Amino acid sequence: MRRHWNEGGGTGNRMLFQLSATDLVAPSQGLNIRVAYQGLPGAFSEAAALKAYPLCETVPCEEFDVTFKAVEMSVVDRAVLPIENSSDGSIHRNYDLLLSHRLHIVGEVQLAVNHCLMALPGVKKEGIKRVLSHPNALAQCEFKLNKLEVIQQNMHDTAGAAQIIASDNLRDAGAIASVQAAEIYGLNILEKGMQDLSDNVTRFLILAREPIIPGTDRPFKTSIVFTLDEGPGVLFKALAVFSLRNISLTKIESRPQRKRPLKVVTDSNHGTAKYFDYLFYIDFEASMIEPRAQNALAHLQEFATFLHVLGSYPKDTSKCFSQEKL
């Protein structure tokens, strides 16, 4: 976008905007798109947003919930949020939020997460008594942190941990965060590759107000959530609708139904018992435009008590490069 200051004339002084050729190239790169993420600049979620939309404007948010609301209220165009990590598993809070907000999954990004131990300039590893970071990041570095024998303190995000060490001049503390966070907040990296498993990948979802039109031009994934009635083999039946149509499942997650986590089941032999009631989240490898996916969901609908499509979106088939190479 070019801006011109137009002086004088009958209409007075005003700023004029002109579209230039760069405004029209690859909107998929994120030009003129605002993307919300949870954390401060330098958080891994910001790196994921930039991997998805290299030219976007990233918008930091305090809480996961705020990123959802920012999209709903049109403050931003997209939200990027972590959903699972290769060593630490699912980020359950975001599964719950996917259901309580009605946004659509329009993409996924896989990011290689390389954790660094960092501290104020001049502070040595031996001087660190406590390490601050996001709980998932601390969990991913559990082995090395236990060896250091330091107190672990949870923070909202990895970059927030680095920022507070710098702003509060915490000379007894270290942070687990990204290379970018060390640069932004002026901390020294004491050790790279702090994660217990060198291949440490976090998968992020991209959310929008409107769904995208699913295609078949590239591999697609579809995410759904459903509930089932109590009964023998019901989950087996639910999963069979996919296997009967040769559809691979890539993920299954169950979460308690928070509004009614317990249900009462009366059994003539054993009396009344209370069981947990679950929501099942499934990702499968097919596009909603394919008849086999539509037929599988029509079949599932015959016995699911609730079924909702969270989104049908292109699978991230890109290679996961380490953070420094992004």
- Identify the bridge partners of residue 15 per DSSP, sorted by sequence position: 5
| Catalytic site residue from 44, 202, 226, 280 | 202
* Secondary structure (3-state) at 192: coil
Question: CA torsion sign, 135 to 141 to 146 to 152?
Answer: negative
**Chain Cα centroid distance, residue 1:** 30
Q: Which is nearer to ligand PRE, 195 or 312 (CB)?
A: 195
Taking the complex as a whole, the smallest distance from the CB of residue 152 to ligand PRE amounts, in Å, to 14
Q: Choose, by CB under 6 A, the member of 78, 134, 203, 221 that binds ligand PRE.
A: 134
CA distance 53 to 325: 16
- Known catalytic residue at 158: no
Does residue 58 belong to the site contacting ligand PRE (CB under 6 A)? no
Binding mask 66-105 for ligand PRE (x = CB under 6 A): ----------------x--x-----x--------------
∠ at Cα 161 (46, 201), nearest 5°? Answer: 45
**Where do the DSSP E strands lie in 209-318?**
220-228, 249-256, 262-267, 271-276, 278-284, 304-314
Please choose, out of 41-49, 70-78, 227-235, 315-323, the segment that lies near ligand PRE by the rule CB under 6 A.
Answer: 41-49
Please report whether residue 162 would count as binding ligand PRE according to CB under 6 A. Answer: no
Active site residue 202: yes
Number of residues located near ligand PRE, criterion CB under 6 A: 15
Distance, CA of 29 to CA of 44 (rounded, Å): 19
Q: Which stretch binds ligand PRE (CB under 6 A): 155-163, 218-226, 239-247, 293-301?
A: 155-163
CA 127 to chain centre: 34
Q: How far apart are CA 123 and CA 170, in angstroms?
A: 10
Q: Pick one of 30, 33, 36, 44: the residue that binds ligand PRE (CB under 6 A).
A: 44
- Residues labelled as active-site residues: 202, 204
| Contact residues: ligand PRE, CB under 6 A | 39, 43-45, 82, 85, 91, 113, 134, 136-137, 157-159, 202
